[in-house]
Structure 1
Amino acid sequence: MNGQPGVSVAVTDRGFSYGDGLFETLRFDAGRPLLLERHLQRLQHGLERLLIPADGLLDLLRDELAMLCRPHPGGLLKILVTRGEGGRGYWGKVDRGPTRVVQRFASPDYPRQWFEQGVELFPCQTRLGLNPRLAGIKHLNRLEQILARSEWQDQYPEGVVCDLEGYVVEGTMSNLFMVKNGALYTPKLDRCGVAGVVRAVIIDSANKAGIDCHETRIRQDQLAQADALFMTNTGFGVLPVKRLGEQNYPSHPYTAMAREWLEEARRCEC
């Protein structure tokens, strides 16, 4: 916490009081944070959107992340940045800030059959509100995702969430890609949702490979007509989908290709 060992945050911290902040989750391997600059760029974008001053913050985080993961072979890192400690009220006046927290976790253990056979997704009833001011960034207000995830137990690894108008947006903790007629489609995240770092890698890599990749509104009935689906996030990377609702989906070469794109990006970027 702010460069020192710690386990608690002040009750006056605006992240605790109001969810006034952002977070990032990233993998590290062999003592090296993966896709670090992409994560920090998204964090910087979110800080600017929330008007949280960040002079010198990213350099401090680079040093602290390197120190935290250096003695360990691999796992997950989580960054939290809040506006800082302040008094009562919504006005963003702080006594000192921002507050930064870096945590290390063991690598998640995902079943091999998820990647070999695909997963079944749960169709969530919870809807995401529309707020372009917050769309795309990974802010600390995750109540919609918590409510969506509470709709099922452990029989599904992930669910699909729509917005108030019924358009497909994302998973509760991941982004969605649809394959149709040789092209990739992913929901447009200009009104709600989180623009994932792995999602950005797939979009960039598809464009470089000459594969059409469209960010667009996707209706639920369009998902039923897709040739294939896959999900992306930092933890599991690229995960094929075998079933959503009553629709089954076959394996597709683009899923394996997306996994290769991600591995290449992780090798080349720090």
Structure 2
Amino acid sequence: MYWVNGVSQHSVALGDRAVQFGDGCFTTAWVKNSRVQHLDAHLIRLQKAVTALLMPDCHWGQLRAEMQAAAEGCDEGVLKVILSRGEGGRGYSTQGVKGPTRIVSLSGYPQHYHAWREQGIALALSPVALARSPLLAGIKHLNRLEQVMIRAHLDNTDAHEALVVDTAGMLVECCAANLFWRKGDQVFTPDLSNSGVDGLMRQKIIDVLAHSDSFSLEIVNQPVTTLADAEEVLVCNALMPILSVRKAENWHYNASKLFEFLHPHCS
């Protein structure tokens, strides 16, 4: 089901800048029992992206109501919100743009996430490296061609998710998830100041660890080989929300100390 500016429909204008340039941002939320999980955090994410991309402000109260209405009656699903800069402008210029365009959609929940939570997953190193772009780093913008290519390569492997590095060879994230690993009581996650998406569950985990007496967290620039001596590896996003990694490349992991600590905070 799709709604565009609050109206049920399945199309947007061909001149919309989401179509023309991928000019906009989005967020993807887990719906459970007719409620959008972490609704406020999703709206804050969109607000930050709109500000960073110099987009016209959105009617946030209206968008909140549309998200809640879309979730009504849904036992479990995925709600996606796209904010396009809108329609208009000449070439790349944003002058004269009429917007933004609000696109809300609701789809089924990926059932394989339930199995992955029970069994854990395997990661394979992607041959596609993310470009370094500090201006766009952290934002879930609409230019996702790198992720499309990462996913295309991943579909030719037996792995469940990808390990993704940037063009400098530093670990960044997975195709559609963020990454954490543990060595003793020290937890690490990649620095996203040059590329990657600062996911809501990543933010949640960082906050939980910042107030923990059991673990310390370090945000790092490290190559993929840092996972060779890790005791535990986790991935997360707003839908999973947190999964144990059993294998990354040729490295295997059996510990669950960090997962068990974080799981009550991430459901």
| TM-score calculated relative to the size of structure 2 | 0.94
Alpha-carbon spacing, 1:111–1:6, altered in 2? closer, same or farther (3 Å): closer
Alpha-carbon spacing, 1:253–1:175, altered in 2? closer, same or farther (3 Å): same
Q: Which residue of 1 aligns with 2:107?
A: 105
Q: Which residue of 1 aligns with 2:200?
A: 197
- Alignment partner of 2:68: what SS? helix
User: How far did residue 111 of structure 1 move?
Assistant: 5.7
Aligned mate of 1:239, from 240, 243, 251: 243
Q: Which residue of 1 aligns with 2:135?
A: 133
Aligned mate of 1:21, from 17, 20, 24: 24
- Alignment partner of 1:125: what SS? coil
Q: Distance in 2 between matches of 1:38 and 1:251?
A: 30
User: How far did residue 223 of structure 1 move?
Assistant: 1.1
The 8 Å contact of residues 123 and 245 in structure 2, kept in 1 or not, is answered as yes
For residues 66-81 of structure 1, what are the structure 2 equivalents within 5 Å? 66-81=68-83
Equivalent pairs counted in the alignment come to: 262
Q: Can you list the C-alpha shifts for 1:217-258, whole angstroms capped at 9, x where unaligned?
A: 122121111111010012211111111111111132111222
The 8 Å contact of residues 84 and 94 in structure 1, kept in 2 or not, is answered as no
Q: Distance in 2 between matches of 1:94 and 1:249?
A: 54
Q: Can you list the C-alpha shifts for 1:69-91, whole angstroms capped at 9, x where unaligned?
A: 11222211000001000144111
- Alignment partner of 1:127: what SS? coil
Q: Distance in 1 between matches of 2:258 and 2:178?
A: 15
Range 202-211 or range 131-140, more displaced: 202-211
For residues 36-75 of structure 1, what are the structure 2 equivalents within 5 Å? 36-55=39-58, 57-75=59-77
The 8 Å contact of residues 242 and 249 in structure 1, kept in 2 or not, is answered as yes
Q: Structure 1: which 4+ aligned runs deviate by more than 4 Å?
A: none
Q: Answer yes or no: is 1:30 the counterpart of 2:33.
A: yes
Q: Can you list the C-alpha shifts for 1:42-93, whole angstroms capped at 9, x where unaligned?
A: 11111000000215x2211110011111122221100000100014411112
For structure 1, the 5+ residue unaligned runs are 264-270
User: How far did residue 114 of structure 1 move?
Assistant: 2.4
CA RMSD of aligned residues (A): 1.4
Q: Answer yes or no: is 1:261 the counterpart of 2:265.
A: yes
Counterpart of 1:77 in structure 2: which amino acid? L
User: How far did residue 112 of structure 1 move?
Assistant: 4.7
Q: Can you list the C-alpha shifts for 1:172-202, whole angstroms capped at 9, x where unaligned?
A: 1000001112121100100000000011111
Q: Distance in 2 between matches of 1:11 and 1:111?
A: 35
- Alignment partner of 2:266: what SS? helix
The 8 Å contact of residues 12 and 87 in structure 1, kept in 2 or not, is answered as no
Counterpart of 2:86 in structure 1: which amino acid? G
Q: Distance in 1 between matches of 2:249 and 2:210?
A: 30
For residues 113-262 of structure 1, what are the structure 2 equivalents within 5 Å? 113-153=115-155, 155-210=158-213, 211-262=215-266
User: How far did residue 117 of structure 1 move?
Assistant: 3.2
Q: Can you list the C-alpha shifts for 1:83-106, whole angstroms capped at 9, x where unaligned?
A: 000144111124410001000111
The 8 Å contact of residues 83 and 94 in structure 1, kept in 2 or not, is answered as no
Counterpart of 1:244 in structure 2: which amino acid? A
Identity of aligned residues (%): 34
Q: Which residue of 2 aligns with 1:268?
A: none
User: How far did residue 115 of structure 1 move?
Assistant: 2.2
Q: Answer yes or no: is 1:5 the counterpart of 2:24.
A: no
Counterpart of 2:239 in structure 1: which amino acid? G
Q: Distance in 2 between matches of 1:116 and 1:28?
A: 20
Q: Which residue of 1 aligns with 2:95?
A: 93
Alpha-carbon spacing, 1:74–1:222, altered in 2? closer, same or farther (3 Å): same
For structure 2, the 5+ residue unaligned runs are none
Q: Distance in 2 between matches of 1:185 and 1:193?
A: 16
